[in-house]
Amino acid sequence: MKLKYILMVAIGLCASTAMAQEKGKDKKKAKDKPSVAKVDSVKTPVKPYEQYTKGTVAKKGLFNIYKKGDKYYFEIPDSIINRQLMVTNYLVKVPGGSPKFGGEEMNTTVMTFEKGKANKLVLRVIYNVLRADSSNAVSKAVKNSTINPIVAVYDVKARGEADKSSIIDFTDFFEKENIFTALNNEAKGGMQLSAMVADRSYIKSFATYPINVEMKMVRTYNAASTPGKGPAGRPLPPLEAGKIGGAATLELSTSILLMPEKPMMPRYYDTRVGYFADGLYDYADGQQQVNPKVYIVRYRLEPKDEDIEKYKRGELVEPKNPIVYYIDPATPKQWRPYLIQGINDWNKAFEAAGFKNAIMGKEWPENDTTMSLEDARYKVIRYLPSETPNAYGPNIHDPRSGEILQSYVGWYHNVMTLVHDWYMIQAGPNDPRARTMKFSDELMGQLIRFVSSHELGHTLGLRHNMGSSSLTPVEKLRDKEWVEKHGHCNSIMDYARFNYVAQPEDKIAPEGIMPRINDYDKWAIQWGYKQTGAKDEEEDKKIVSQWIVDSLKANPRLWFGGEGMNNDGRCQTEDVGDNNMVANTYGIKNLKIVMKNLPEWTKEENDLYINLNQMYRQVLNQYMRYANHVAKNIASVEETISTPEQPGNGDVYASAPVAKQKEAVAFLNKEVFETPYWLLDNNILNKISKPVGLGGVSVIQDRVMDQVFSDRVFNTLNIMEQRYGKANTYSLNSLLNDVKVGVWSELKTNKPIDIFRRSVQKSYVSALLMRINEAEIGANAMAGLLGGNMAREMAPVTLSTDVGSVVGLHLENLRKEILTALPLAKNKASKDHLQYVADQIQTGLKKRFALAN
């Protein structure tokens, strides 16, 4: 599942243009032809109101809309002038083969109407990036630096009843592409569309509601008939519609939503709690530097007026406006109850924030013609017919405050394949229900339920917390009573899929295997949604910051470990437990059980071993995950965010314990670099693959070797040794020697070296020669071509460090050991291999010196 965290402060730059009237030979003609500015000053004649409202198809709402012939007239109330409006575009129907689906959001923009000169309305696009209170002198400078661009000017055709509204012709806004309604580049590029074809595009339907307007359009675009280039230059096939007719037709909807007149009081973002965030720059006279104001993204959840005192006393109350998610009627009926359960499960978290019945899932009332899936007021889990095994949960929020205004979950049909394969491979040894290619509706439903909860968490504002699983001791994952009560991970927002540590003899029930909304999730909702009663956001910040200090002191398991995109071995995707080496040793024990039973578990009539092939690949994928988890512990930098006033706070950045890094190397030597023959079961391989190459096991070994011997690892070890001292860190020499003990054990034992071991040893030498090239030869080559400064900006992080000399000396010593052991090799293949590798090292080191000079 996607994961997608964005913390962005966007700065919009508005360019002004001036128009100069041409002077010279045709002065009279130029004088008679007014400039744009002069046109604006010419008063547009206003016609009777009834001319645009009588005899029309009329709908009443935020804007009254009148359809007369092929024209659409909008009645803009004066009360809406200068109010901000959020414009969001959605796909409704797409051509076959589209990478995007009906129900998905395309883009969001903010606009506002202003009164212009001479019976005109001006439409501006709004960029909320700079702000200052009007009581500050600097607000004048901010005002002068933040003019929003005018994108359209509309003649006022008529004034409404009591002279409180304006009628404008808004047809072109929807019929033509503009900054608000254009199909975004991602969709256009993915479908290889170009210009819109006007004569095959039209407005299909319209609706207006109390706070929003919804327009549905049919649009036809020119479409490529031949393959194009996709991401990273990969071939991108054309749509079938493009191949047949050179054009593709889509249905889109545009929603115009009235944003709150008074923005919700925002809550400052804090890196110690995992929320999505947005921000702007706030200027004030008393500042000595400008800092962005970054706010968390959340729903406006408030007690009813009559319940405020109850809420203050700590009683649970219902919110004014509960959060309601509907299930797309395209969803298969057997899965709807489980999706609803996944939504409703969040109520236990909102109770921590003082609210009951705060969120609820409902089936879409299919016979209610007053409701539309494209109505921005409704939040929907949209069911998408995609073979992609995925789901995601975006939200659309008010950039002034972080208030979530619109949201949906994109649910791909094939997400069931993903959870099936995870559960069979990770839980099959413990749950007999997982030992089949088609799960019962009850089991699949429970898997859908947990994915639903995870994605709903994103729509509520929560980011992934990849560090949460590291707070559970591995031994507790095998403790039946403990794990069934507390769960195997402290957060549904982690990617800790299932408890793969539990062993069959532990007899742990599904409650101790599957994820659940847990303590961190309740705490995060409490921190983000509980009312503080503060008078402003600054006072609120002090209160909620103290909540973090007090809560982490009382319960360290509430720690937020981030998205797993740093180099902290505690914060990884797909892992469980506080020690990857111990946890994944248990995981491999379970994988061996899976391998033994895979032919039986995947058996189906007339299958042709497609199931066996699919699930064997999943076993390899899981094994690769285990190896990657462990490898990331080497040169791990543990990042623990804290503030100076936080009691007992230590270093924010610290090296992982030396013993843990050595334990990681020992695991890889034993479980990865030694040939894992249990994965090479010919009873399986002879049914699913030709004997070409060494296969997936060798690929995994090569990738792990590259990860362990990466320039990042080498550079981090060097810096940590300099920062914390040799006695407290794992040195580069120690890493090289510890890996060598495992990879080159045959130099001591004189045992025959099998084909996989020979491949691993060659990979070892190749990876180290590459690191030398990066650190030394690469530096000289880039400096000669680009100049010293530019070379340093583009060079590997090990450039001009001791890595080249340390690794070079290590390889020279290894070569001596190889030559010493060579005469004692037991067979010709081993002797030939050792001679080849010795020559490879010699050639590589000579080439290094030749190029360096």
pLDDT, one tens digit per residue, over 398-441 is 989 999 999 999 999 999 999 999 999 999 999 999 999 999 99
Residue 526 pLDDT level (bands cut at 50, 70, 90): very high
> Per-residue pLDDT tens for 721-732?
888 888 889 999
Task: Give, in order, the Cα–Cα distances in Å from 457 to each of 105, 413, 575.
Answer: 18, 20, 20
Is 393 among the domain residues?
A: yes
User: How much is the pLDDT for 648?
Assistant: 66
Same domain, 459 and 573: yes
Distance between CA 734 and CA 167 in Å, rounded? 78
Predicted local distance difference test score (pLDDT) of residue 783: 47
Number of domains, the chain: 3
Is 467 in the same domain as 390?
yes
pTM: 0.88
Give the integer Cα–Cα distance in Å for 342 and 360: 10
Average pLDDT over residues 254-283: 92
Percent of the chain clearing pLDDT 90 (strictly above): 71
Q: Are residues 220 and 310 in the same domain?
A: no
Confidence (pLDDT) at 463: 96
Nearest-angstrom CA–CA distance, 483 and 469: 13
Residues 309 and 254 in one domain: no
pLDDT of 815 > 90? The answer is: yes
Q: Is 349 found in the same domain as 207?
A: no
Over the range 7-43, which residues count as b (16 or more CB within 10 Å of their CB) and which as e? eeeeeeeeeeeeeeeeeeeeeeeeeeeeeeeeeeeee
Task: Give CA–CA dist 793/799, Å, rounded.
Answer: 10
Instruction: Output DSSP code: residue 436.
Output: S
pLDDT interval class at 46 (50, 70, 90): confident
Residue 224, pLDDT score: 93
Give the pLDDT score at 33.
36
- Give the residue from 601, 623, 654 where a domain finishes: 601
Select from 75, 41, 50 the least CA-distant residue to 60: 75
Give the phi and the psi of residue 680 in degrees, each rounded to 5: -110, 50
Output the pLDDT for position 31.
37
The residue segments making up the domain with residue 363 are: 305-601
User: Does residue 643 lie within any of the structural domains?
Assistant: no
Band (pLDDT 50/70/90 cuts) for residue 314 is: very high
- pLDDT tens by residue, 140-155: 777 777 788 899 999 9
Q: How far apart are CA 319 and CA 301, in angstroms?
A: 6
- Give the domain-ending residue among 198, 232, 258: 258
**Residue 78 counted as domain residue:** yes
Which residue, 575, 601, 627, sits at the end of a domain?
601
Q: What is the pLDDT of residue 388?
A: 85
What are the C-alpha distances in Å from 195 to residues 172, 188, 219, 222, 246? 16, 10, 10, 6, 12
Do both 225 and 356 map to the same domain? no
Amino acid at 841: I
Give the pLDDT mean for 453-469.
97
pLDDT score at 184: 86
Least-confidence region, from 68-72, 220-224, 638-642: 638-642
Location of structure tokens 């909807």? 253
Same domain for 310 and 232:
no
Q: Indicate if 332 and 215 belong to the same structural domain.
A: no
What b/e sequence results for 102-118 when a residue is b if at least 16 CB atoms lie within 10 Å of its CB, and e otherwise? bbbbbbbbbbbbeebee
pLDDT of residue 842: 95
Question: What is the structure's pLDDT at 39?
Answer: 37
Measured CA to CA, the distance from residue 134 to residue 459 in angstroms comes to: 34
Average pLDDT, the chain: 89
Q: Do residues 145 and 69 both lie within one domain?
A: yes
The identity of residue 601, as a single letter, is: W
The answer to whether position 588 is within a domain reads yes
Q: Is residue 18 part of a domain?
A: no
Q: Say yes or no to pLDDT of 17 above 60.
A: no
Does the pLDDT of residue 529 top 70, yes or no? yes
Q: What is the pLDDT of residues 579-613, one digit of tens each?
A: 999 999 999 999 999 999 999 999 999 999 999 99
Q: Which DSSP string do the residues of 740-784 spell out, in sequence order?
A: HHHHTTHHHH-----HHHHHHHHHHHHHHHHHHIIIIIHHHHHHH
Please check whether residue 667 lies inside any domain of the structure: no
Q: What is the pLDDT of residue 43?
A: 61
DSSP 8: E
CA pair distance 194, 230, nearest whole angstrom: 15
Question: 313 and 250 in one domain?
Answer: no
Give the model's confidence band at 849: pLDDT under 50 very low, under 70 low, under 90 confident, else very high.
low
Least confident of 286-290, 541-545, 678-682: 286-290
Band of the pLDDT at 44, cuts 50, 70, 90?
low
SS3 state of residue 327: strand
Segment 685-693 shows an average pLDDT of 85
Q: Provide the pLDDT for residue 777.
A: 67
**H helix or E strand, kind and range, residue 257:** strand 247-258
Statement: residue 215 has pLDDT above 90: yes
In contact, 359 and 379? CB cutoff 8 Å: no
Does one domain contain both 482 and 397?
yes
- Once rounded to an integer, what is the mean pLDDT over residues 318-334? 96
For the cut 50, the answer to whether the pLDDT of residue 24 exceeds it is no
Backbone φ and ψ for 70, nearest 5 degrees, come out as -105, 20
Is 626 within the bounds of a domain?
no
- Judge if 561 and 701 occupy the same domain: no
Task: With respect to residue 299, please indicate whether it lies within any of the assigned structural domains.
Answer: no
